[in-house]
A and B are shown apart, each in its own frame.
Chain A
Amino acid sequence: MHIVACVKQTPKSDNVKIDPQTGCLIRSGAASDINPFDEYALEEAVTLKEQLGGTVSVITMGPPQAEAVLKDSIARGADAAYQLGDMAFAGSDTWSTSYALSKGIEKIAAQNPVDLVICGKQTNDSDTGHIGPQISAWLGWPNAAFVKKVVKAGEKSVVVERLTEDGTDVLEIPYPCVLSVVKEINKPRVKSPKGRILAKRAQVTKWTADDVGADKSKLGIKNCPTNVVKSFVPKREVCAVTVEGANGKEKAAKLVELLKENKYI
């Protein structure tokens, strides 16, 4: 079994600061880490490897410092790490990013056929959830998103439960395929001491756009189909009323009165 987990280095979500004047993200001093949703993807890949045997590869696209999340992934149980780094990738939207990742996965698969690609549900910086389904579209592989449970990973296919608004879908998907997973799927482990040592020694394979045979006319801020034209800090209107009262009971009665008066309940 060869599983590829896709990971991204993102700013820690509790540490995001926005310049109120420019509306831009203040990156200097902002701690970065593995996208929290990707921890579930990696954990699921490592768990499946432990059950079935095989290899977990991790891939990321990002600037040189993004190597840190690959080493971090090794410490959490991945075996091999690949980084797509090239100025040609800079500013790519999800359409272009998923294309680049699909080319990287094709190259990994040429060396050792890939059965399963696992992505997090979304990232905590862009929140799109596009990458998993779009990688599968570029590769021509079947996929499922919002996967909350791997019921059975067999020889030739995987049976998964997918979260919907009104229940659960059960699907059987043959390899190779792409899954995007939600946090309900597992509880990510912490890095082991042995993992930390392996991470220090790990070699990250670095590829450019040319290395993976990517068509540069599909990459980067100038060629990707969508662009950000404006960004701004949302205004929050606050009209807080502090509900007064001598104790909880009085406040509760006052609250019910206010809600009824305004016909909210």
Chain B
Amino acid sequence: MNDWKNVWILAEVNHGKLSPTAYELLNAGRKLADDLGEKLCAVLLGSGVEKFAAELFEYGADIVYVCDDAHLANYVDDVYAKTLAAMIAQYKPNKFLLPATNMGRSLSAKTAVFAGTGLTADATEVLINKEDGQLHATRPTFGGNLMATITCKRTRPEMCSLRPMSYEKAVRVPGRQGEVIRFAFDAEKYTSLAKFIEFIKNEGDGLDLSEAEIIVAGGRGLGKPEGFALLKKLADRLGGAVAASRAPVDNGWIDYRYQIGLTGRTVKPKVYIACGISGQIQHMAGMSGADVIVAVNKDPQAPIMKVANYAVQGDLYEVIPAMLEALH
């Protein structure tokens, strides 16, 4: 296994935009590479993506492997996974971190089977074990009730998807340089029977949740769909975004894509204001990484009141309008 060298990260590109997870993976990967005394390499797959290499060097990559081809313009599992598996076979990385985004979860899983190696899902911490140089990936299971540390002893690369926002972004060093290595796309081999038809962008109804620094979330305690209009007012006033726990989504008050938690999305804003959310463990799994949690709830015994940094016992229909007034 000694000929498997270097730490790889997948720099995900979505519709011409580098995913913020790329900077987080470069931060996590840099530490691993330094601990091993190996290089940090980023992988770019897509069409017209080579231009991102310069930025990846500035954020810590030593080498950027680029497979830039029109066939990779949109994400199709088999095309990407076969390309990635071929790159792994050729360059033999030691560790490989991917983002635990929707694309990264699916791609990492398929690639691991094609590459014949093990994969840890959705880790929140990755370390190099000093004794044997193996990757120790720690991840929440049972909806965050239990943490498990997972290794992949006998096969390489040791693959791991990393939960978005579990690491800070890498620090940019302007002018930092690196080496670009181009990998040729093979249209005969990297095929899929699936056909990409189109991408429909979410309507512009505010900030993308994954990038919002302030999130105002509503739960069952809103009592009615109109409650979200009030939360939207507060979110707009604070320059943030609106989200929800599971109950309002199940009740049809708001779209599923706003759902935070185990069944929905993971967010790590600076401030998370939970309104009328009791704080089931499944919801906490998606937002406990917030820097500050504010809970507004009628019930002082609600679990969220015990993890909140600021707990406000009261009726959200009284508290939120008063907050808006106080912010004027």
Contact = CB atoms under 8 A, between A and B. Distances in A.
A167 B257 CA distance: 9
A143 B256 contact: no
B109 to A, nearest CB: 4
A189 interface: no
Given A124-B262, A127-B140, A259-B271, A164 B14 contact: yes
Contacts of B319: 248-249, 251-252, 255
Interface string B85-126: 000000000000000011101110110111001111110000
B299 to A, nearest CB: 13
Contacts of A248: 314-315, 318-319, 322
Interface string B129-160: 00000001000111111111111111100000
A194 interface: no
Contacts of A242: 311, 313
A132 B280 CA distance: 27
B78 interface: yes
A225 B109 CA distance: 13
A170 B198 contact: yes
A129 interface: yes
Contacts of B166: none
Contact of B310 (A167, A229, A236, A241): A241
Contacts of B113: 95, 98-99, 134, 137-138
User: How many interface residues does chain A have, given as a range?
Assistant: 35 or more
Nearest to A226: B118
Interface string A126-146: 111111111011100011111
Nearest to A148: B256
B interface SS class: mixed
A interface SS class: mixed
Interface stretch (B41-49, B51-59, B69-77, B172-180): B69-77
Interface in A158-176: 159, 162-174
Interface string A253-264: 101111100101
A128 B121 contact: yes
B151 A227 contact: yes
A171 B195 contact: yes
A167 B202 contact: yes
Interface string A13-24: 110101000010
B263 A183 contact: yes
B262 A129 contact: no
B143 A127 contact: yes
Given A167-B200, A169-B200, A251-B313, 17 more contacts: A124-B143, A125-B142, A144-B106, A145-B105, A159-B197, A164-B102, A171-B197, A172-B197, A184-B256, A225-B154, A226-B118, A226-B119, A233-B145, A240-B305, A252-B323, A252-B326, A258-B310
Given A94-B109, A134-B109, A232-B146, A225 B152 contact: yes
B194 A166 contact: no
Contacts of A227: 150-153
B200 A234 contact: no
Contacts of B153: 225, 227
Interface centre among A99, A129, A177 (most CB of B within 10 A): A129
Nearest to B129: A229
A248 B298 CA distance: 10
B119 A243 contact: no
Nearest to A252: B322
Contacts of A137: 81, 109-110, 113-114
A231 interface: yes
A148 B327 CA distance: 39
B323 A255 contact: yes
B199 to A, nearest CB: 6
A129 B105 contact: yes
B326 A165 contact: no
Closest 5 CB pairs of A and B: A225-B118, A248-B318, A252-B322, A137-B113, A128-B121
